[in-house]
Amino acid sequence: MILMNALKHINSHMDDLISDLQSLIRQPSVSAKNEGIEECSILVKKLLKKAGVKSEILRLKKGVAPIVYGEIKSKQNPSKTLMFYNHYDVQPAEPLDLWDDPPFSGIRKGNKIFGRGATDDKGELITRIKAVEAYLKTTGDVPCNIKFVIEGEEETGSAHIDEYLKKYTRKFSCDGVIWEFGYVDAKNRPIIGLGMKGLLFVELSVNESIRDAHSSLAVLIKNPAWRLIEAIKTLRDPDGKILIKDWYKETTPLSKNDLKIIQNEPFDEHVFKKEFGIKSFVGSKKGLDAKKALVGDPTCNIAGFVSGYIGDGAKTVLPSKALVKIDFRLVPKMDPKKQVSRLKYHLKSKGFSDVKIKIFHGEAAARTNSSHPFVDQVKDAADKSFGTSILNVSNAGTGPMYSFVKILKAPCISIGSTYMFSRIHSPNEFARVDLLKKTTKCMCLIMHNFGIH
Ligand SMILES: [Zn+2]
């Protein structure tokens, strides 16, 4: 009955959800340019207050975006705590000329609300605030303790989330985290994500001479591009297997339960290939192997390679330097620091001590055990509010989930309202009203399931 009242409240208060989302979109909050960050954090605090959630603005030091923290204690069940992790910052709106309306207009056209952040992550945030509000307004209570951690640097890489989590470990302690976003596929099925891969981003370079030379001198002067190609050729075989010693040492195979989930996950190979205009996958993978790779295979990817002349026509030049950017996706139990030293050792032992290594980013993978009861609670909520849902053992991408798992020791699950083609990070980003409504209800059901178990 209590749950039913909360769900009814959502039905009759969608206009309020939409206008609050519009006001959030209309407050630019571009972390990359430090534009409107303080103002947006104050607005978020106001929305929490309106929902009946006690909140405060947490700070680390000058120049770091504040975290908006909200908390509400449950009277009926104060022993369990659910955290909503979100962010109030957005990506830059550029290129501006590709938007049909001003990027911070929040304009509604039928089922869509347009604007930078409409989905990522202001749309996601509003569903969670309104779910809690629905409970508080109809019953004066929530089914479990709720904590909101809403950061302002996600779009620039969450540089300080680790520090915040360490400083406020006690305050943020919880039994489960609902991650900042969740995809909904083209058939309106929400994808419940149980993990994310890690990432190691490096730059390798070779400087051979102090200046470019006439290419006739290639008989005497070594070419750094050849040198770098030779070095990176030793990193990986053509099927994608990484050849660095001990690269896979700590990794463990997918569990039986994981494999079952992967088997059930829809993946249309044909559509996927058509989308990218490709004929085959790496290592000629097919069917289940392709799905398993998305979930559980590490990668060594050349993100960019620069050397010499790449302008129009011909230029017979012998470049003085060559540079490659490489990203490695990591899977659970791979420690980015360890992998870096393995990479360094590899290059040295293969005779490439002259290749310089610069590390840009290291982040470990995180995965919630698919047999954890939290998974069933979220799945049940998603099935009830959307009619069906898809479990995904790990997203092929990367996010700071590991920090939460490691420091708070709580399972993390991503579920949300982000329609796959909602153009997040691109011009004309939009949120779908029907999905905002279903997701808000889903959040109520998650709180309910989490509270009663
Ligand atoms: Zn984003």
Distance 395 CA to ligand 1 centre (A): 15
β-pairing, 395-398 vs 356-363, is unpaired
d(CA 208, CA 453): 64
Distance 155 CA to ligand 1 centre (A): 5
Distance 117 CA to ligand 1 centre (A): 8
pLDDT at residue number 361: 86
- For 343-373, write each residue's pLDDT tens digit: 999 999 999 999 999 998 899 999 999 999 9
Distance 424 CA to ligand 1 centre (A): 7
Distance 253 CA to ligand 1 centre (A): 30
- For 150-187, write each residue's pLDDT tens digit: 999 999 989 999 999 999 999 999 999 999 999 999 89
Distance 116 CA to ligand 1 centre (A): 10
Distance 322 CA to ligand 1 centre (A): 32
Distance 356 CA to ligand 1 centre (A): 32
Closest C-alpha to 44, from 154, 103, 125, 101? 125
Distance 159 CA to ligand 1 centre (A): 14
Could you tell me what percentage of the chain is helix, strand and coil, using 3-state DSSP and rounding each to the nearest 5?
A: 40, 25, 40
- Stretch(es) of the chain classified as CATH 3.40.630.10: 2-194+368-452
Distance 327 CA to ligand 1 centre (A): 19
With vertex at residue 282, the alpha carbon angle to CA 278 and CA 288, rounded to the nearest 5 degrees, is 100
Torsion-angle region of 238 (φ positive above 0: left; ψ -120 to 50: alpha; else: beta): alpha
What tokens does 173 get?
Answer: 């302690």
Q: Which residue ranges of the chain lie beneath pLDDT 70?
A: none
Distance 233 CA to ligand 1 centre (A): 33
pLDDT at residue number 453: 82
CATH class, range 197-251+298-363: alpha beta
Distance 45 CA to ligand 1 centre (A): 21
Cα Rg, the chain, nearest whole Å: 24
Alpha carbon 63 to chain centroid distance? 23
Superfamily of domain 2-194+368-452, CATH level 4: Zn peptidases (3.40.630.10)
With vertex at residue 418, the alpha carbon angle to CA 94 and CA 410, rounded to the nearest 5 degrees, is 110
Encode 110-119: b = buried (16+ Cβ within 10 Å), e = exposed: eebbbbbbbb
User: Residue 87 gets which letter from DSSP?
Assistant: E
Distance 350 CA to ligand 1 centre (A): 39
Distance 319 CA to ligand 1 centre (A): 38
Distance 220 CA to ligand 1 centre (A): 49
